[in-house]
Amino acid sequence: MLSAQLPLVSVLVLHGPNLNLLGQREPGIYGSVTLGEINSLLKAEGQKLQVKVSTVQSNHEGVLVDAIHAARGESQGILINAGAYTHTSVAIRDALAAVNIPTVEVHLSNIYQREAFRHHSYIAAVAIGQISGFGAESYRLGLQALVHYLRNVKIS
């Protein structure tokens, strides 16, 4: 049940390309958890934290940009795993900067232990923080960190 004292917080979770294949895709790197299971985990964590969690996955850069624009006035925070667009997309970085909604970046794998091209994130500079390397738990930790930020830093 929602507590009357807490302001209503909505968080948009964005999943980028190829994350729809989680569970089948390179399980040695990304584990056996499916995207559906991650979304269920986040909804359950959202209930505990008393925040509304909505999720979008797309393999298309422009769809992710549109979803970021649509978050204006709807979501107070964004949790994003931009997948490979992390390392390539100035457009997603610019969209996040434009809407200026507090954003946490997450990755299942530790991108700094992997190929050099994964070491740079265009998202990191416009995010309040990044969690990388804890598998599906990165998402839960990211949501907790984002809500902590919104309640203790941003929302008074």
Which parts of this chain interact with ligand DQA (CB under 6 A)?
Answer: 18, 81, 83-84, 86, 107-109, 111, 118
Give me the residues paired with residue 79 across strands.
13, 104
Instruction: Tell me if 95 sits within 8 A of 65, measured CB to CB.
Output: yes
Assess whether 107 carries a catalytic annotation: yes
Rounded Cα–Cα distance for residues 152 and 156 (Å): 7
SS3 at position 56: strand
Assess whether 112 carries a catalytic annotation: no
Nearer to ligand DQA, 39 or 109 (CB): 109
Catalytic residue among 15, 85, 107, 139: 107
CB of 16 to ligand DQA, least distance (A): 7
Nearer to ligand DQA, 86 or 89 (CB): 86
CB of 73 to ligand DQA, least distance (A): 28
Instruction: Tell me if 92 sits within 8 A of 125, measured CB to CB.
Output: no
CB of 96 to ligand DQA, least distance (A): 15
Instruction: Tell me if 132 sits within 8 A of 111, measured CB to CB.
Output: yes
Catalytic residue among 30, 85, 122, 139: 30
CB of 45 to ligand DQA, least distance (A): 18
3-state helix, strand, coil in the chain (%, to 5): 45, 20, 35
What is the torsion angle, in degrees rounded to the nearest 10, for the CA atoms of residue 47, residue 54, residue 13 and residue 36? 80
Residues 6 or more apart whose Cβ sits within 8 Å of residue 65 = 91, 92, 95
Q: Which residues are catalytic?
A: 30, 107
